[in-house]
Structure 1
Amino acid sequence: MVREIVLRQAGGSVTATLPKDMADRLHVAAGDKVYAIETDRGVLLTPYDPDFDDAMQAFEEVRRQYRNTLKKLAE
């Protein structure tokens, strides 16, 4: 879904306000953190933490490598 959002001055910062229906679909609310990622096509605003994904990918590799050991530890 593409929505036009008007940027506003707020002190020394520029703010963007998400429409309520969009915030609801993204499961974000006032006070939540979102991430602005610069891309070659513009700015991606997402509640998704790219560092968390990196950590999860590392965990998946370890989990596969030590699958049997982790099973024994879980007993």
Structure 2
Amino acid sequence: MSEAKKVETAEATVLQIRKIGNSLGLILPKELLVQLGFGEGDRLEVVRQPEGGLKLQRHDDLHARAMAAARQAMKDYAGALRELAK
């Protein structure tokens, strides 16, 4: 017997930017948070996508530190990397 595969449909949720104290923010509906597996207190990263969209993902301290180290190494060794790329 084969199980029926669940087909996810992309539903658009329209959010409005609102004033929250002295800042601006988005309020995410509880149902959306449950679907995404996010909860109160979770730290999220916003990643800009090439097509102009945004991606939300959990913040990972280890990954963030590794990316910072990689960016610094690329900056420090830009000349050598440019020569190696030839």
TM-score, normalization by structure 2: 0.48
Using the TM superposition, give the Cα deviation of residue 44 of structure 1 relative to its aligned residue in structure 2, in angstroms.
1.6
Q: Structure 1 or 2: larger helix share?
A: 1
With normalisation by structure 1, the TM-score equals: 0.53
**Residue 16 (structure 2) aligned to one of 6, 25, 31:** 6
State the Cα distance separating 1:47 from its structure 2 match: 2.8
Structure with the greater relative contact order (CA < 8 A, sep ≥ 6): 1 or 2?
Answer: 1
Contact 1:26 1:47 in 2 (8 A): no
Q: 1:28 aligns with which of 38, 41, 48?
A: 38
CA drift at 1:2 = 1.8
Unaligned runs of 5+ in 1: 56-75
Q: Percent sequence identity over matched residues? A: 23
Q: Tell me the distance in 1 between the aligned counterparts of 2:22 and 2:47.
A: 20
1:2-29 Cα distance to aligned partner (Å, 9 max, x none): 2111111223422111111110011111
Q: Which entry has the higher C-alpha Rg, 1 or 2?
A: 2
Which blocks of at least 5 consecutive residues in structure 2 are unaligned?
Answer: 1-10, 68-86
